[in-house]
A = this chain, B = another copy of it.
Amino acid sequence: MIDKTVASVADAVADIPDGATVMIGGFGRAGQPVELIDALIAQGATDLTIVNNNAGNGDVGLAALLAKRRVRKIICSFPRQSDSWVFDGLYRDGDIELELVPQGNLAERIRAAGAGIGAFFSPTGVGTQLAEGKEARDIDGRTFVLEYPIKADVALISALKGDRWGNLVFRETARNFGPIMATAATRTIAQVDQVVPLGSLDPETVVTPGIFVDRVVAVGERPWVKDGAFVGGVDLEGRPL
């Protein structure tokens, strides 16, 4: 029997080595694998390269990982936010390397890694600072810039439900980077609200087939969802009103 479920987030991240490239899903609070990030902080791996849309908020999650100086480099599209003080400080002190990537190139480069594409000519960033030094080519009357895949050793993602084969479904805009990061990492670890029995996910509506997922760990339903239904009663950070 295939069983990709693991008992705890600690078990799920136990073997992430120092120096690993780690993709972390999420856009804002939505789809952020909060419990897996906390487990990674507790686990202690360092010298990491992180791939995420942002560079951490406040003092928790990814920001806390940065604050412990576990991150050598971050690949993201939007590091600067009103509450990105941890990243801001490290960056200003030269203590973290930043690869800034337009969000669409970030998504497409991740997808390319998962789909076996060697490189692709992108329409985005042409003629800007972010394309400087990159190969450009005119195709069919338009200029494109060559972009390379972004692969990872590990992806940490968050989904709504998963089964023991690793099939996943997501909820609303929490889907964001999860499905593509799952394809681009050597090992994909998904936290889910609930592990459901094999066969209970409709094969028409599985978003991430289990072939892309190595470990599934249940973290329980979020406060705004009860028995699969939206119940509200929280703020945007998921804190009870």
| A204→B169 CA distance, assembly (Å) | 9
Copies of this chain, how many? 2
A140 contacts which of B108, B118, B202 (Cβ < 8 Å)? Answer: B118
Interface residues of A in 129-145 (CB under 8 A from B): 137, 139-140, 142, 144
Interface size class of A (residues with CB under 8 A): 20 to 34
A94 within 8 Å of B (CB atoms): no
Residues on A lying within 8 angstroms of B by beta carbon are 108, 112, 115-123, 137, 139-140, 142, 144, 148, 169-172, 202, 204-205
A108 & B118 in contact (Cβ 8 Å cutoff)? no
Residues in B neighbouring A171, C-beta threshold 8 A? 204
Chain B neighbourhood of A120, CB < 8 A: 112, 117-121
Q: How far is the CB of A131 from chain B (nearest CB, A)?
A: 13
From residue A107, how far is it (CB to closest CB) to chain B in Å? 10
> Can you add 13 more A-B contacts, CB < 8 Å, to A112-B120, A119-B144, A170-B204?
A117-B120, A117-B123, A118-B121, A118-B122, A118-B123, A118-B142, A119-B121, A139-B148, A171-B204, A172-B204, A202-B205, A204-B205, A205-B205
- Looking at chain A's contact residues, the main secondary structure is mixed
A119 / chain B contacts, CB cutoff of 8 Å = 120-121, 137, 139, 144
Question: How many Å lie between the Cα of A170 and that of B205 in the bound state?
Answer: 10
| Chain B proximity of A44: nearest CB distance (Å) | 30
Known contacts: A139-B148, A204-B169, A205-B204. The answer to whether A115 contacts B108 by CB under 8 A is yes
A-B contact list, 19 entries, CB within 8 Å: A117-B120, A117-B121, A117-B123, A118-B120, A118-B122, A118-B123, A118-B140, A118-B142, A119-B120, A119-B121, A119-B137, A119-B144, A169-B204, A170-B204, A171-B204, A172-B204, A202-B205, A204-B205, A205-B205
Residue numbers in B under 8 Å from A116 (CB-CB): 123
Chain B positions within 8 Å of A142 at CB level: 118
- Report how far A85 CA is from B139 CA in the complex, Å: 37
